[in-house]
Amino acid sequence: RCRANARRLRAALAAIGRPAPGDADGHIVPVLIGDADRTMAVGAALRARGFAVGAIRPPTVPPGSSRLRVSVSAAHDAA
């Protein structure tokens, strides 16, 4: 179920022009944003709406490759 959820999320991201790198069924789904400030703002907005996402920026990742880190689990449903 976890792998199916990861594939579903990756397919939805690809459909809106945000393909996620990595294994197709990997449970850690990176959403590349690029700009560190924008990544932090998007992460904060999602957390304010109840989504548990991490916002990763330099020095953890190279400059220009800031991203959201979404962890998919078997507890998630399609909604």
Per residue in 47-74, pLDDT (tens digit) is 999 888 999 999 999 999 999 999 999 9
Per residue in 16-57, pLDDT (tens digit) is 999 998 888 889 999 999 999 999 999 999 999 988 899 999
Contacts of 35 (CB under 8 A, 6+ apart): 64, 66
Per residue in 4-16, pLDDT (tens digit) is 999 999 999 999 9
Q: Taking a C-beta distance cutoff of 8 angstroms, is the pair 43, 49 a contact? A: no
| pTM as predicted | 0.84
